[in-house]
Structure 1
Amino acid sequence: MHPETHLALHRVRALDLRAEADAYRLAAAAGPHRLLRARLGWTLVGLGLRLVTTAPRTPALVR
């Protein structure tokens, strides 16, 4: 990989991590109830996605 490309990707990732850290700090400052509510919400979203994307367990009928 070209060094300039690697450096640009690193900068983008660093900005993403800083933004995520800022969002976490704001959520933590808002109080434990909001943080818990957000975690519960994202857990439910993840669970729903796993249920939706799970392949059917019953085999198709072959005729």
Structure 2
Amino acid sequence: MHPETHLALHHARAAELRAEADGHRLAAEAKQPYDLRTRLGWTLIEVGLRLATPRPALNP
């Protein structure tokens, strides 16, 4: 393959990869509020399970 052709293909592929990375980055930024809601939901579930689980009796 001619070096200039190889370089042109390399630049085209690099541009595609950058565009794909930008797309993933934008998707991750848009998803952040759901991450907070998910963490809050799991925290509430954990608290609920702790409240629902009977405590062991203390032996005096």
Q: Any runs of at least 4 consecutive aligned residues in structure 1 with deviations exceeding 4 A, and if so which?
A: none
| Higher radius of gyration, 1 or 2 | 2
Matched with 1:20 is 20
Unaligned runs of 5+ in 2: 35-60
Q: Aligned pair count? A: 34
TM-score, normalising length: structure 2? 0.52
Distance 2:14 2:28 in 1: 21
Matched with 1:2 is 2
Task: For CA contacts below 8 A with separation 6 or more, give which structure has more relative contact order.
Answer: 1
Name the Cα RMSD after superposition: 1.9
Shift of 1:33: 8.2
After superposition, the C-alpha distances for 1:5-49 in whole angstroms (9 at most, x for unaligned) are 000000000000000000000000001688xxxxxxxxxxxxxxx
Unaligned runs of 5+ in 1: 35-63
